[in-house]
A = this chain, B = another copy of it.
Amino acid sequence: MSISFSIHATDKRARTGILKTAHGDIRTPAFMPVGTAATVKAMHPEQVAATGADILLGNTYHLMLRPTAERIARLGGLHKFMNWDKPILTDSGGFQVMSLAGLRKLTEHAVTFQSHIDGSRHELSPERSMEIQHLLGSTITMALDECTPFPATEAVAEASMEMSMRWAQRSRNAFIQREGFALFGIVQGGIYEPLRLRSAAALTQIGFDGYAVGGLAVGEGQEEMFRVLDFTTPALPDDKPRYLMGVGKPADILGAVERGIDMFDCVIPTRSGRNARAYTSMGEINLRNARHMDDPRPLDPHSGSHTCQHYSRAYLHHLFKADEMLGPMLLTLHNLHYYQELMAGIRDAIANNRLESHAASLREGWAKGDLAAL
Give chain A's interface residues, CB within 8 Å of chain B.
37-39, 41-44, 62, 66-67, 71, 74-76, 81-83, 293-294, 296, 310-312, 314-315, 318-319, 321-322, 324-326, 328-330
Contacts and interface: CB of A to CB of B under 8 A. Distances in A.
A39 B324 contact: yes
Given A312-B81, A314-B67, A321-B66, A43 B294 contact: no
Nearest to A43: B326
Contact of A312 (B42, B66, B75): B75
Q: Which 5 A-B pairs have the closest CB atoms?
A: A39-B326, A37-B322, A83-B310, A67-B318, A42-B325
Contacts of A315: 38, 75, 81-83
A329 B325 contact: yes
Contacts of A310: 83
Given A67-B293, A67-B314, A318-B66, A41 B324 contact: yes
Nearest to A328: B325
Contacts of A37: 318, 322, 324
Q: How many copies altogether? A: 2
A314 B39 contact: no
B324 A75 contact: no
A321 to B, nearest CB: 7
Contacts of A312: 75, 81
A72 to B, nearest CB: 9
A279 to B, nearest CB: 20
Contacts of A322: 37, 39, 62, 66
A136 to B, nearest CB: 13
Contacts of A318: 37-38, 66-67, 81
Given A42-B329, A71-B293, 4 more contacts: A44-B326, A66-B321, A71-B314, A75-B296
- Among the interface residues A42, A75, A293, A311, which one has the most CB atoms of the partner chain B within 10 A? A75
24 contacts: A37-B318, A37-B322, A38-B315, A39-B319, A39-B325, A41-B324, A41-B325, A42-B325, A66-B321, A66-B322, A67-B318, A75-B294, A75-B296, A75-B312, A75-B314, A75-B315, A81-B312, A81-B314, A81-B318, A82-B315, A83-B315, A325-B325, A325-B328, A325-B329
Contacts of A71: 293-294, 314
Nearest to A82: B315
